[in-house]
Structures are given as structure tokens and as C-alpha cells.
Chains A and B, each alone.
Chain A
């Protein structure tokens, strides 16, 4: 289990991380999302010990900064993965991973057998990305830190990468990942943190977006007026025969849909905020929804 408490990092006067608190259990995939420059990569670099910072980072109760040897069981893939180009992919794996025993299983899952014995200098971007994922997952028995792991991967490779991360998770590794592919990543993550201006967006903020939202088109304008009169406090008017409604709890939801069927409607669309729309609202306000 990784615990981060009060993590601060500045580059000169520019504060990049301001008191980040975060924890993730073994066998859990936790996403760290945010805009460009929000501090996601810096956060992973701090955890990996690549950059100096203040605050506490502990892995299974032991301080990572004081026990650098713990990094032997931490897999890291930060920004664009780079390897020794004159070595093959397999040689790079052996170089960076002390325990090679699980390597072949992971290579098979990522379908990397075709290129793993070729020199890295001949690799495409996607192949390098796969090799980066392989090294991080093989090495990271305790913790895997992945920064934009899905960049440059095609749809099939994305599925393979998901499978690989799932195996790591089942083996008990804790996975922290950042990504701009929010829809894909949110489906993969058990939990996520949003970073904004170097801080973690509080859970209460995010919970506001978790309530079910629907876009409803009524059969007639009269029907819209009638139902709007009944549920004025939860309905937002939209042009024509449509409106949007936020349903706070199951009881209201039940009564609202009963009223809808009574007055007659043409369509109901679930527009509950996705991670992507939440992210847009956080960054650009409600107009961006």
C-alpha cells in the first residue's frame, strides 16, 4: 500500500504540488488525472525518487525516500520511455528487472514476441510504449507508476495493455497511472484523483457530478410546462420541448419517471457526467459541459 502525505514540490517560485495526500491499496488501480501542467508527472517523479520534494511517501509503512532499495520492486514508466538502443527488448528487460521469471507471461499478454528480441533502435513508438509497460509491470511487484501508458497504442494494443494491468493488479501490485485518455482510463481505474493547480480536487466537489442527470424531450410544450411546474427546483429549462433534470435520490427518481409517463415524453437520455465532462467542468466551468 502506498501512502502519500503532504507532498510539496516547487520549481523555484513555481509551486507545482501543494500538499498532496493520496493513498492506494495493493491490488488497486488508481488514476491521477488533470490538465497539462497540473503536476501529474511531477507527482510520479516524486514517488519514484527522481526529483526532490517534501512530504511523506511510504510503501507498506516504510519510507521510500529513506529506503531507496524499496524501488527494486517498483516499476516506473515516466513520460516517453527510453531504453538502451543497442540492446534488444529482452536484454533491456533483463537489465532493468532483477527478477525475470514472470517476463515471458507478460510478453505473451502484450503480444510482444515478434519484436522483443530485436534491437530497440528498430522499434516503433508503440513498440517502445509496450516495452516500457512490460518493464514497469515485470519490475513493479509492489507498485507500478505509469505516466501516460497508453500513448501510441492502437485499439488492440490497448486491450492487451488493460489485460496486462489487470494481471498486475491481481498479483497484488498497486498501480498509479496518469492519462489523457480519460474515458478509457476511468473504465480501468478503481478510483481516481483529479489534480488542479497542484492540489487534489476534494471528493465533495467530485460527488456533485455523480448524481444522475437526464435530458428529456416531452411530447408537447404543455406537457413540459406541467412537469416543470411540479419539479421546478431540479429542472433546467432547454429550448423547445426539452429540459434537463438532476435526480438527487431514488425516491425522487421513481416519482419523476412516473410523472413523465403520465404527461407523455418522446425521449429520455442519460447525460450523467462522465469523467471527461467532470474534467471539462473542473477546468473550464459548467459552460464546457
Chain B
């Protein structure tokens, strides 16, 4: 703790304060200004098939038979085959479980206020928080000692260079992770307090999952924390290779801007999007909710991300260890 204590002084916490305030303000603005978001259920829209309105079970049965007929007419290679198949599974599930239309919160049909969509809209500011906080802490924590010239005293203190590197990494990552969990949990509690739909139906393959808001929030938080670990590790160890603040700081900001630009430029249906999705939705949600790709695809993407991050950490550690302290 001694080796990061100086970093948690007022000056450095003030650097993080605007980021945290930004999240709170943007979350608040979305909650008060974005009623349209809640009605559309934007973030969950792709995961549940559109449900046509029905008043009783007999109407639902008719809808189910129509869906089955539609599926029969389609060839397996047809583009809309998977969607039609999802529709059948969905209507079967509703019929077998005798779920009334009023109980459903799904694509376009979600006329009710949805805490799920409210919570999902919060993921963007959290994504920004994760990046900005990672950039600020990750780039400065090691390089600042070289910038301020305190490195000579620090690294001749008798503690090994690697110990200082890893202790700082562990404590700062844990702090960021706790901050992320606290921020998201508070927001989830606020969203939950607003009432509305308590469960959502998710379809994946031949199965329907019903996910409570608590489970959904937990998956989302877990996903964000895993992403934070990857992003922070990459930024921290890449920065440790440098002996000045400017290059890693500019590099990290540039990388962030590039990532967002490329993500926005790539068509949303493209498989390449999956490389960016983990940073937003994460493997757990991704595997559950996106029927376009099997879970193994997301695991593969994540595996690649983990391998790349580990490689960056190994290179950063080696360069940091071998480099003279000037």
C-alpha cells in the first residue's frame, strides 16, 4: 500500500473526480431525458423476438401456429430462418408457460418502463469511466516517478522493481474494480427502485431463459469488471515500458479514440463487431443474448483478447525490468 499511497492524495483523486461526476451526470440525464430509450428497450431489443399483441391464450396459439407455418415455408439457408425459428421457440415458451402479453417486456412490445434498458443505457458512461480511469491511473502510476525523478530513490529502496510494479498494479486495479462495482451497483439499485418489469425473456438456440434484473445487473457488472481488468492491464504494462508520461498518455487516448471510431465504423452485423462487443456487453451477456454467434465464438474472441493482453504485460514487464533508471 505504501507504494501507491502517494498516488491517492487529493491531487490525483481530483483527476478522477470529473470522470466519476461525468458518469453520474450522464446517467441522470439519461434517466430524466431519455424516456424514448426506455420505451424502445434499446439495449435488449436484439435478444428477444418481436411479440405480436394477443389478448388470451387462444390468440397466442394462433400466433404460434402462424409462426410454425412461416418456418415451414422457409429454407434453412434463408436469411430469416433463424429469426423465424426464434419466433416459434418464443411463442411455444409463452404458450406452455401461459404468459400473458402484459407480462412481456421485449422488442418493440415493451410498452412499459424498463429498468433493464435504463441500466443498459448506463453502460456507455461506465465504459468511458473504465477507459478514462484506466488511462489516468494506468499511464501515470509508473511513469510519474520517472517524470518527477523520484524513481532513483524509489528503485534504490531495496524493494525489487518487479514487486513495486506488481503491487501498484494490484492495488490500483482493485481500487478501480471496487469503484466500478460500487458505481454500477448503486445505479442498479436506483434503476430497480423505479419498478416496472422485473424479468426479461432471452432466447438462445433452442432455449428460453428468464433473467431477473438482479441476475442481469450481476452479469453486466461482472462483464464490466472483466473488461476493466483487460483494458487496465494492457494500458498499465504498456505504459511501464516508457520513462515519460507523455507518450503512454497520448498513446492511450489515441488508442481509445481509435477503438471507438473503428467500433462505430464497422457495420453492426459484422462479426468483427464481436471484437469490440466484449468491451461493452461482455462474454457472459454476449453468450446469453446474441443468437447470431455460438458462445464458443465469444470465448474465442475473449481468449484472443486475454492472450494479447498477457503478451503486452509480458513485454512491458521485461522492458521495465531491463531498462536502466536514468
State whether B150 touches A84 (Cβ < 8 A). yes
When distances are taken between beta carbons in the complex, the residues of chain B under 8 Å from A112 are none
Beyond A50-B325, A79-B152, A82-B149, whether A95 also contacts B160 by CB under 8 A is: no
Contact B153 A85 (CB under 8 A): no
Q: How far is the CB of A156 from the nearest CB of chain B, in Å?
A: 26
Contact A87 B6, beta carbon cutoff 8 Å: yes
- Contacts of B48-76 to chain A: CB distance below 8 A: none
Q: A50's contact among B2, B150, B152, by CB below 8 Å, is which?
A: B152
A135-B157 in contact (CB<8A):
no
Interface residues on B, range: 20 to 34
Closest to A67 in B: B158
* Pairwise interchain contact A71-B157, C-beta atoms closer than 8 A: yes
| Cα–Cα distance between A52 and B148 once the two chains are bound (Å) | 22
Measured CA separation A76–B157 after assembly (Å): 8
CA distance A73 to B160 in the complex (A): 14
Asked if A126 is an interface residue, CB under 8 A from chain B, the answer is no
B261 at the interface (CB under 8 A from A): no
Nearest-neighbor residue (CB-CB) of A71 within chain B: B158
Considering only residues 142-176 of chain B, those with a C-beta below 8 Å from chain A are 148-150, 152-158, 160
Let me know if A96 and B157 touch, CB within 8 A: yes
Contact pattern, A 227-240, Cβ under 8 Å of B = 1, otherwise 0:
00000000000000
The verdict on B206 contacting chain A, using a C-beta distance below 8 Å, is: no
Residues of A within 8 A of B11 (CB): 86
Query: Please, which residue of chain B has its CB at the minimum distance from the CB of A98?
Result: B158
Give the chain B neighbours of A52 by CB distance below 8 A: 322, 324
With CB as the reference atom, state the residue of chain A lying closest to B153.
A96
Q: Is the CB of A49 within 8 A of B150?
A: no
The reply to whether the CB of A29 lies closer than 8 angstroms to some CB of chain B is no
**CB of B9 within 8 Å of the partner chain:** yes
Report the Cα distance A71→B10, complex, angstroms.
31
Smallest beta-carbon distance B10→chain A, Å? 8
Task: Decide if A265 is an interface residue (CB 8 Å cutoff).
Answer: no
| Chain A residue nearest to B163 in the complex (CB) | A68
Taking the closest CB of chain B, its distance from the CB of A11, in whole angstroms, is 9
CB neighbours of A135 from chain B (8 A): 153
Chain B residues whose C-beta falls within 8 Å of the C-beta of A81 in the assembled complex: 153
Residues of A within 8 A of B160 (CB): 68
Q: Mark B114-158, 1 if CB is under 8 A from A, else 0.
A: 000000000000000000000000000000000011101111111
Query: Counting CB contacts under 8 A, is A30 at the interface?
Result: no
- Determine whether A241 belongs to the interface, using a CB cutoff of 8 Å to chain B: no
Contact B155 A83 (CB under 8 A): no
In the complex with contacts A50-B325, A51-B324, A70-B158, A86-B6 CB distance below 8 A:
yes
CB<8 Å pairs between A and B, sample of 26: A45-B152, A45-B324, A45-B325, A50-B156, A50-B324, A52-B322, A69-B158, A70-B158, A72-B158, A76-B153, A76-B156, A79-B149, A80-B149, A82-B149, A82-B150, A82-B152, A82-B153, A83-B153, A84-B148, A85-B148, A86-B10, A86-B11, A95-B6, A96-B153, A96-B154, A98-B158
Given A76-B152, A87-B6, 19 extra CB contacts under 8 A:
A45-B324, A45-B325, A48-B152, A48-B156, A50-B324, A51-B324, A68-B158, A71-B157, A72-B157, A72-B158, A74-B156, A76-B153, A78-B156, A82-B153, A83-B150, A84-B148, A84-B150, A95-B6, A96-B157
The 5 residue pairs across chains A and B that have the minimum distance between CB atoms = A72-B158, A82-B149, A71-B158, A51-B324, A50-B325
